[in-house]
C-alpha cells in the first residue's frame, strides 16, 4: 500500500489520462500505418514489398531501444504510470497483443499476396529440395565453393560455453549425435550477412528463381558436421538490447567511452527471440532454457525471418515496371541561374532547398565550392548522420587540406551510427579539421553550416540550416526543408551557437532570430502558443499548424489542449508518435499522419499571430529529449516568396485524401487504402509544384510565377465526412 501511495504522489496527473496516448503504443500504431502501405493496392508490387521490409526494420530498432527500456524499468521496479496511465509492465503486455496481430497480418500480406503475385511475374523463391536434380547439383557446387568456406560452426559443450550470438543475424541451431556417442551435442551456425541472402538459381524457367541462403545451408548442413548424425535443426534470430547511455563527464573522454560501449553491445541481454511458427521439440526447449527469456519476448513467425533483407529481392527482381517511376530531384532556379552557390544565395538573400523534391546537389555544391574558393576562410558544421562514403565529409577534408579553418561538431551518440561517426571523425582530424566530439550531457542534433568568406575587403557569412541530416543517401528518401541565407542576423546567431558548442561561451540572453534548445526553444514555442490563446476570439480564432515527426512532450500536449479549449484552430501533421489524445467533440483540432513513398521528416510550424503570420523550420520535434536534452535549432522563414511556397506545401498535406490517416477521439487512426491515386496525393503534388515553380522561374514567366508566389495564407483544412462512415471501422492496432 505504501508503494501505491508513492506512485500516486509521483504521478498525480493520471486523472488526465484521457488527454494522452502512451508513447510506445503510439509508435506501434505508426508502424501499423507503415504496414498499411504494404496492403495498399495503389502502390506498385515491389513498393509494397519495400514496406514489408521497412516495417521489420522499424520493429528491430523498436525492440532494441524502446522495448528494452520498458523491460529495464520493470526489472528496476520503476513500474510507474506514464501520463496516459499505463505502467511499463502494462505497455509490454499491450505491445505483445498488438504485435501478434500485426505480425500475422504482415505474414498474410507477404505469403498470400505479394509473393504469389511476384511469382506470376516470374520471380520465385524455392526450397532447394524442390529443384530439378541438375540444378541441385549446381547449387551444391555453389555451396561448397562460395558458402562453406565462410561458415563457422560454434559447438556448445563443457569446453565451449554458450556463444555470444550476434544481434539481428539469422542463426541455425543444431542438435546431433557424434559418431559412437550416446548424448546429444549442440551447435550454432550463423548465416553470414556478407553473402547474398537471395541466391539466383538458373533452373531453365522464364523469370528468376531464388533460394534463401539459410535454406541452402540447412540443405547441406551435414557437410559442416561430418561424422555426426543430425537430429534437429532450425533457423532463429535473437535481438539484443542495443541502447546505451554514456556518462560523458568530460568531452575528451567521450570518444573512448563510445568505443567501449560499442564493443560491449554484443554482450547485451537478449530482448527478443524469433522462431519459425512450426518450431517445436527438444532443441527448441533446450534453446529456451539457455536464453532464460520471459515467454512474452519469444515470437513465432509465419514465414521467413529477417524480412528487412527483402530489400535485396526488390533490386534482384529487375522489374522496374513494378516500382514507382523516379521523381528526379529538381534543381532550384537560383542554382540554375548561377554557377556559384555564393552568387545564387547573395542574389536571392534566402533560398529554399527541399530534398528529395529538390536535388541535394546545391548543398554539396556549396561545400565543394567553399573547399576550393580562396576567399573562403572558415567552415563550421554540425554532423549527426552522414553516409558511409560521404561527399560532405570529403569536401570538409578537402577544405582542411586547402588551409581553411574547418570545425566540425560531431555527434558520436547518434544511435546506431556511432561507429560510422567515429571512423569519419578521425579522417577529418587527420586532414587537419578541428573536430569537437559533441557537448557533455547533450546530443547535438541541430543541422547547421556556417561559411565565412572574404568579399570586397569585408567579411561575409553564409549559412545553411535544415530540418534533416547532411546525408546524401537519406536526402533521396526523407522529405526535409532547409534554407541557404546570407542574412546578417541569422549568420550572427549561428556563429554564436558554434561558439557555445566549441568553446566556453554562454548562450546570449536573447538571440536575434533563432531559438535553440536546451536554452530557449521550449520557452519560445510555448510563448507563441500562449500568444495564439490570448489572441483567439470566436470571430477571429488563433491558428496553429505544426508539422513534425513526433509529439510526446507532456507540457506541450497540455498547452495544446489549453489552446484547443480556448478555440484556437489547430492542425497537427505528425508522422509518427503522437501522444496527444483528442477530446470527443474537439472539432477545432485535427491530427493527421502521412505515410507515403518518402519518409516525412521535415519540421514546419505556422502561427497566425493575429494576422501577422510567422513561419519556422526546426530540427526539433516536440519531445522532451529535443526540447530539454539536445542542442536543436528553430529558425524563422521571413522571405515572402518562400513563405508562400510553404503555404502551398502545407495546403497539399492538409487536403491529402489519398495518404492521410486521421487520429480519432478514440485514440485510433483511420485507414487509407486507396486502390489508385488521385490528384490529392500530397507528396506528388509537392514534387510537381516545386518542379513547375523552378521551370517557370527559369522561363521568366513572371506573371504566372507571381500568382504562385502570392497564394493566400495556409488554407483552412478540408471538412471531412463523418469518420465512422467514411473510414473503414478502426481496429485496435490501427
Active site residues per annotation = 445
How far is Cα 313 from Cα 310, in angstroms, rounded to an integer?
Answer: 5
The CA distance from 434 to 405, in Å, is 8
Which residues, in sequence order, are bridge partners of residue 300?
Answer: 275
Q: How far is CA 383 from CA 441, 449, 481, 626, in A?
A: 17, 9, 16, 16
Percent helix / strand / coil, the chain, rounded to 5: 45, 20, 35
Ranges assigned E (strand) in 129-184: 153-156, 170-178
Measured CA distances, 262 to 268, 423, 443, 541 (Å) = 10, 13, 17, 52
Q: Which residue shows C-alpha cell 469518420?
A: 723
Nearest to 591 by CA among 608, 603, 577, 602: 577
Q: Longest Cα pair distance anywhere in the chain, in angstroms?
A: 91
CA distance 647 to 479: 16
Locus of grid cell 536434380: 133
Cα–Cα distance, 660 to 682 (Å, whole number): 9
Q: Which helix (H) or strand (E) holds 460?
A: strand 458-466
Among 479, 498, 455, 497, smallest CA distance to 345 is for: 455
Which strands, in side-by-side order, build the sheet including 350-353? 350-353, 482-485, 458-466, 447-455, 376-383, 405-410, 434-436
All three cell numbers of 62: 523498436
Exposure string of 332-367, with b = 16+ CB inside 10 Å and e = fewer, is bbbbeeeeebbebbbebebbbbbbbbbbbbbbbbbb
Entry field: residues in the chain: 734
Helix, strand, or coil here: 546? strand
Which is it for strands 599-600 and 376-383: parallel, antiparallel or unpaired? unpaired
Instruction: At 369, list the grid cell.
Output: 565550392
Asked whether 428 and 271 are in contact (CB, 8 A), the reply is: no
Task: Work out the number of other CB atoms within 10 angstroms of the CB of residue 700.
Answer: 8
Q: How far apart are CA 518 and CA 526, in angstroms?
A: 14
Residue with cell 500500500: 1
Instruction: Tell me which H or E stretch contains 669.
Output: none
CA distances from 718 to 252, 520, 652, 653 (A): 53, 34, 11, 11
Amino acid at each position: 500500500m505504501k508503494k501505491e501511495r508513492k506512485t500516486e504522489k509521483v504521478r498525480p496527473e493520471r486523472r488526465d489520462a484521457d488527454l494522452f496516448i502512451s508513447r510506445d503504443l503510439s509508435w506501434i500504431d505508426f508502424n501499423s500505418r507503415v504496414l498499411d502501405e504494404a496492403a495498399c493496392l495503389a502502390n506498385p508490387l515491389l513498393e509494397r514489398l519495400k514496406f514489408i521490409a521497412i516495417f521489420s526494420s522499424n520493429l528491430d530498432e523498436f525492440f532494441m531501444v524502446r522495448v528494452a527500456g520498458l523491460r529495464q524499468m520493470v526489472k528496476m521496479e520503476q513500474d510507474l504510470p506514464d501520463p496516459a496511465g499505463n505502467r511499463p509492465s502494462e505497455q509490454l503486455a499491450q505491445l505483445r497483443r498488438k504485435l501478434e496481430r500485426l505480425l500475422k497480418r504482415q505474414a498474410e500480406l507477404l505469403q498470400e499476396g505479394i509473393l504469389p503475385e511476384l511469382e506470376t511475374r516470374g520471380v520465385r523463391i524455392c526450397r532447394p529440395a524442390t529443384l530439378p536434380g541438375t540444378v541441385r547439383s549446381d547449387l551444391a557446387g555453389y555451396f561448397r565453393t562460395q558458402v562453406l568456406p565462410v561458415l563457422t560452426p560454434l559447438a556448445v559443450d563443457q569446453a565451449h560455453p554458450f556463444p555470444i550470438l550476434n544481434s539481428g543475424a539469422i542463426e541455425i541451431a543444431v542438435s546431433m549425435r557424434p559418431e559412437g556417442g550416446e548424448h546429444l551435442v549442440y551447435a550454432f551456425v550463423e548465416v553470414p550477412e556478407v553473402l547474398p541472402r537471395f541466391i539466383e538459381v538458373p533452373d531453365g524457367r522464364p523469370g528468376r528463381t531464388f533460394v534463401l541462403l539459410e535454406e541452402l545451408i540447412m540443405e547441406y548442413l551435414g557437410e559442416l558436421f561430418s561424422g555426426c548424425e543430425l537430429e534437429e535443426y532450425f533457423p532463429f534470430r535473437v535481438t539484443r538490447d542495443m541502447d546505451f547511455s554514456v556518462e560523458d563527464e568530460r568531452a575528451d573522454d567521450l570518444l573512448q567511452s563510445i568505443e567501449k560501449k560499442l564493443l560491449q553491445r554484443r554482450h547485451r541481454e537478449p530482448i527478443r527471440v524469433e522462431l519459425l511458427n512450426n518450431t517445436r521439440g527438444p532443441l527448441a526447449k533446450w534453446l529456451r532454457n539457455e536464453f532464460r527469456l520471459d515467454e512474452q519476448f519469444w515470437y513465432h513467425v509465419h514465414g521467413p525471418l529477417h524480412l528487412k533483407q527483402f530489400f535485396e529481392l526488390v533490386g534482384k527482381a529487375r522489374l522496374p515496371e513494378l516500382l514507382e517511376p523516379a521523381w528526379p530531384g529538381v534543381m532550384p532556379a537560383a542554382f540554375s541561374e548561377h554557377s556559384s552557390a555564393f552568387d545564387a544565395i547573395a542574389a536571392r538573400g534566402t533560398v529554399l532547398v527541399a530534398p528529395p523534391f529538390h536535388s541535394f546537389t546545391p548543398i554539396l555544391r556549396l561545400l565543394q565550392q567553399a573547399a576550393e574558393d580562396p576567399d573562403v576562410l572558415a567552415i563550421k558544421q554540425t554532423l549527426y548522420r552522414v553516409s558511409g562514403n560521404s561527399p560532405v565529409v570529403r569536401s570538409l577534408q578537402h577544405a582542411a587540406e586547402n588551409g581553411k579553418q574547418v570545425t566540425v561538431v560531431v555527434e558520436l551518440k547518434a544511435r546506431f551510427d556511432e561507429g560510422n561517426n567515429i571512423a569519419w571523425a578521425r579522417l577529418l582530424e587527420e586532414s587537419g579539421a578541428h573536430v569537437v566530439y559533441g557537448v557533455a550531457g547533450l546530443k547535438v542534433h541541430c543541422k547547421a553550416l556556417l561559411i565565412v568568406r572574404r568579399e570586397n575587403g569585408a567579411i561575409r557569412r553564409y549559412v545553411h540550416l535544415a530540418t534533416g541530416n547532411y546525408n546524401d543517401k537519406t536526402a533521396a528518401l526523407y522529405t526535409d526543408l532547409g534554407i541557404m541565407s546570407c542574412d546578417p542576423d541569422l549568420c550572427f546567431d549561428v556563429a554564436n551557437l558554434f561558439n557555445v558548442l566549441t568553446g566556453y561561451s554562454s548562450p546570449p540572453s536573447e538571440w536575434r532570430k533563432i531559438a535553440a534548445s536546451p536554452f530557449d526553444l521550449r520557452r519560445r514555442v510555448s510563448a507563441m502558443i500562449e500568444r495564439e490563446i490570448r489572441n483567439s476570439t470566436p470571430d477571429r480564432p488563433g491558428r496553429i499548424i505544426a508539422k513534425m515527426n513526433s509529439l510526446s512532450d507532456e507540457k506541450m500536449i497540455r498547452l495544446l489542449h489549453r489552446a484547443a479549449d480556448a478555440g484556437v484552430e489547430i492542425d497537427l501533421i505528425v508522422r509518427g508518435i503522437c501522444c496527444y489524445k483528442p477530446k470527443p467533440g474537439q472539432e477545432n483540432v485535427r491530427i493527421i499522419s502521412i505515410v507515403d513513398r518518402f519518409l516525412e521528416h521535415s519540421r514546419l510550424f505556422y502561427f497566425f499571430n493575429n494576422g501577422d503570420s510567422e513561419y519556422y523550420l526546426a530540427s526539433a520535434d516536440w519531445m522532451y529529449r529535443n526540447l530539454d536534452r539536445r542542442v536543436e535549432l528553430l529558425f524563422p522563414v521571413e522571405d515572402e516568396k518562400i513563405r508562400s511556397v510553404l503555404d502551398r506545401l502545407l495546403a497539399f498535406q492538409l487536403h491529402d485524401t489519398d495518404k492521410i490517416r486521421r487520429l480519432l477521439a478514440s485514440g485510433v487512426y483511420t485507414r487509407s487504402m486507396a486502390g489508385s491515386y488521385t490528384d490529392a496525393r500530397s507528396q506528388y503534388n509537392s514534387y510537381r509544384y516545386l518542379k513547375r515553380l523552378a521551370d517557370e522561374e527559369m522561363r521568366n514567366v513572371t506573371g504566372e510565377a507571381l500568382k504562385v508566389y502570392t497564394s493566400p495564407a495556409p488554407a483552412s483544412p478540408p471538412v471531412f465526412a463523418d469518420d465512422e462512415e467514411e473510414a473503414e471501422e478502426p481496429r485496435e492496432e490501427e
